[in-house]
Amino acid sequence: MGATWKRADGIVVINYDQCIGCRYCITACPYAARSFDAGYFYSDFEGGQPQPYELLPSPEYGQGRVRRRDASPIGNVRKCHFCLHRIERGQLPACVLSCMGRATYFGDLNDPQSLVAELVSQPNVIRLKEELGTEPNVFYLV
């Protein structure tokens, strides 16, 4: 379907309007990074109707997507998109900002002057499942 691809900057994205929810990409992803949105709300598990905060638009891929029953992104595959909406306005991803241990970094690896380029040049860096040749851009400083 061509609903998911790797952008030039390395971020793997999904086009919700193209995705038919076949979920083959979930089994294909070696990193278990993807999950299927089956349409549950947190309040469902608490025994109530979706609350107003659950029906606010969430910024994904340039659109404010509202989760409504039987409409995208419900029925699509979803994944971390590195807070594209924040990056585009010059903010760091929310997990980098919020991390209690300040354990996460984000930046441009192609820029040799950047902090992330410096950090990954250390010897104590690994990537998951390198043998698959997927060249992941998530590095673990161990």
Return d(Cα 139, Cα 127) in angstroms, integer: 5
Return d(Cα 51, Cα 71) in angstroms, integer: 17
Nearest to other proteins of 28, 126 (CB atom):
126
- E-assigned strands of 37-124? 58-60, 63-65, 77-79
- Single out the residue of 51, 68, 125, 129 in contact with other proteins (rule: CB under 8 A): 51
Per rule CB under 8 A, is residue 47 in the interface with other proteins? yes
Nearest to other proteins of 26, 66 (CB atom):
66
For residues 77 and 21, the answer to whether their CB atoms sit within 8 Å is yes
* Number of neighbours of residue 134 by Cβ within 10 angstroms: 14
Nearest to other proteins of 10, 75 (CB atom):
10
- Single out the residue of 20, 71, 115, 125 in contact with other proteins (rule: CB under 8 A): 115
45 Cβ contact list (under 8 Å, min separation 6): none
Per rule CB under 8 A, is residue 111 in the interface with other proteins? yes
Residue span binding other proteins (CB under 8 A) among the ranges 13-21, 71-79, 83-91, 131-139: 83-91
Query: Of 18, 28, 32, 34, whose CA–CA distance to 80 is shortest?
Result: 34
The least distance separating other proteins from the CB of residue 131, rounded to whole angstroms, comes to 27
Nearest to other proteins of 61, 105 (CB atom):
105
Query: Of 9, 4, 8, 138, whose CA–CA distance to 78 is shortest?
Result: 4
Residues of this chain, 84-103, that bind other proteins according to CB under 8 A: 87-92, 94, 96-102
Q: Which residues bind other proteins (CB under 8 A)?
A: 9, 42-43, 46-49, 51-53, 56, 87-92, 94, 96-102, 105-108, 110-111, 113-115, 118-119, 122
